[in-house]
A and B are shown apart, each in its own frame.
Chain A
Amino acid sequence: MATEAHTAPHAASARPATGAWSWVTTVDHKRIGIMYLYTTFFFFAVGGLMALAIRLQLEHANNQVVSAESYDRLFTMHGTTMIFLFVVPVMAAFGNYLVPLQIGARDMAFPRLNAASFWLLLFGGMVMYSSFLWGGGAADAGWTAYPPLSVLSPGHGLDLWIVGLHILGISSLIGAINFICTIHNMRAPGMRLTRMPLFTWAIDVYSIMIVIAGPVLAGALTMLLMDRNYGTSFYQPATHGPILYQHLFWFYSHPVVYVMALPGFGMISEIVPVFSRKPLFGYKALVYSIVAIAFLGFLVWGHHMFAVGFSTPLQIWFMIASMAIGVPTGVKIFNWIGTMWMGRIRFEPPMLYAVAFIGLFMIGGLSGIFLAAFPIDLYVTDSYFVVAHFHYVLGTVPVFAVLGGLHYWYPKMSGRMLDRALAVRAFWIIFIGFNMTFFPMHDLGLSGMPRRVSTYTNNAWDTANLISTIGAFVLGTGVLMVLWNCIHSLRVGRIAPADPWGANSLEWYTSSPPPPHNFDELPPIRSERPLYDLRREAAATAVTGD
């Protein structure tokens, strides 16, 4: 643990610098976190607009809103944007802002490296999007970029996509190393690992997974780039190269599902006890389940490849290992419900998002059990059932966990409260829109509608697709309402106190927003709920008059 002196100048005498240049040159983890937030939400909006174009195209059979080529680019860049430019880095946004505050540190271990990590994210996104300006257009081989399609894809769109991903990979790798060093070496006195907030635990495991999985994707993409430009043939079909690529790609990309999900779980684990006004039920079980999910996440990549035709024992292995992930995931859901059980629940906006997340993630988890069973997977592979599944798993994380986290920590970050009535209305619109968009896709998939096709001829799929398209616009409206609420409340929102929710972790001990040095002083840390301990001592003192 750090032995750094945590007492610092008074907040009033240490005002943050102002002006655009002070933001460009900042190495303050909080400002970097906020710049991450703006950037990732910008890409979220861009990816969302692409999703609306996709839904318009699929609204009815034989539709021609966009050409087949444009459709390929849209769904490729939609998936890539949402995963690599929104969900993965938005966790780094919250991590940057919150981890040092939650462990009582002054800043990240390497503040300049932290700034570099952010600027590389922005640069990587720009490189990737610059492909739209080239003659050949953007990448069009899907976010998975399977060979031989990705090797043969004409133009330079896919090359820029690969280079952009390399830059994003370096950004997330150095960010992850920074998080690990910060969490393991910079905790305040008393902040043992077993007292860390669940969100910080999740960011620690997220970072470890990035360090292990990221270089494998980088290697796979390097070979793809060489096949496209330098005459190598790593992925030629004659030597089963496409299957090699799939193994390498999914060794990274299945763990990245948990890279995205675990910090979302961490956010929910922070919100549920605060708004249930109870201690988190089974803190240690939740920590173990985070670690178990991460460990098992590295053993199951083959369930994305059942259609390749593995031997039966190998298929059985990947099936059982995939289903085993349901156990620690079930532990988490059980513990969240156990925390709410008999609690005095306050349905403030963050809690609405958290409860919705738990319910909707369970739908995605259950369809995941179906897909883990290879006899079922072979029947529905590459159909809209899979699209429904992964949006109920990975769509719920950004829409419900991240927006829940945004509503929860917005007062701390901005010093202002959100408009509660608008937040509640936006939540219900998002909830209805999300389910209208993605639930009909289960039925579409089971009735045979393939994914990644620009149009279809079967009129029997029209009604479900129409509902889904309307739902996408409803969902987009709700997200716009949230963004408007965030922007509007920056100017007119009620001033936020240090701890508006009666929360438990250290970030709520300092002012909202925190001063540049984070804390004037730290409270004693004797449990995983230091602020609750303080309130209890204050109440006891008030009763006894000591």
Chain B
Amino acid sequence: MLDKPTANRNLALALKLGIFAALLFAATLLVGVLVRYG
């Protein structure tokens, strides 16, 4: 088992990276919408 501080650091970093990736995905769609319909 991991110690709790390491597990928390893992979770925090994973969440940040996941949110970053989701924002990039949304930004790509936004670029598509703006170029085509903007």
Contact = CB atoms under 8 A, between A and B. Distances in A.
Interface in B1-38: 1-3, 5-6, 9-10, 13-14, 17-18, 20-22, 24-29, 31-33, 35-36
B2 A4 contact: yes
B35 A185 contact: no
Contacts of B3: 2-4
A498 B8 CA distance: 34
A215 B9 contact: no
Given A3-B5, A180-B17, A239 B36 contact: yes
A220 interface: yes
B35 A109 contact: no
Chain B CB count within 10 A is highest, among A214, A216, A219, for: A219
A215 B21 contact: yes
A244 interface: yes
Contacts of B1: 4
Contacts of B25: 215-216, 218-219, 222
B36 A181 contact: no
A216 B27 CA distance: 8
Given A3-B6, A239-B35, A239-B36, A212 B24 contact: yes
A241 interface: yes
The 6 closest A-B pairs by CB, nearest first: A219-B28, A215-B24, A215-B25, A109-B10, A181-B10, A177-B17
18 contacts: A2-B3, A3-B3, A4-B1, A4-B6, A106-B2, A173-B21, A177-B18, A186-B2, A211-B21, A215-B22, A216-B28, A223-B32, A233-B36, A234-B33, A234-B35, A244-B35, A248-B28, A248-B31
Given A4-B1, A185-B6, A211-B20, 11 more contacts: A2-B3, A4-B3, A176-B17, A184-B13, A185-B10, A211-B21, A214-B21, A218-B25, A219-B27, A223-B29, A234-B33
Interface of B: 1-3, 5-6, 9-10, 13-14, 17-18, 20-22, 24-29, 31-33, 35-36
Interface of A: 2-4, 106, 109-110, 173, 176-178, 180-181, 184-186, 211-212, 214-216, 218-220, 222-223, 232-234, 236, 239-241, 244, 248
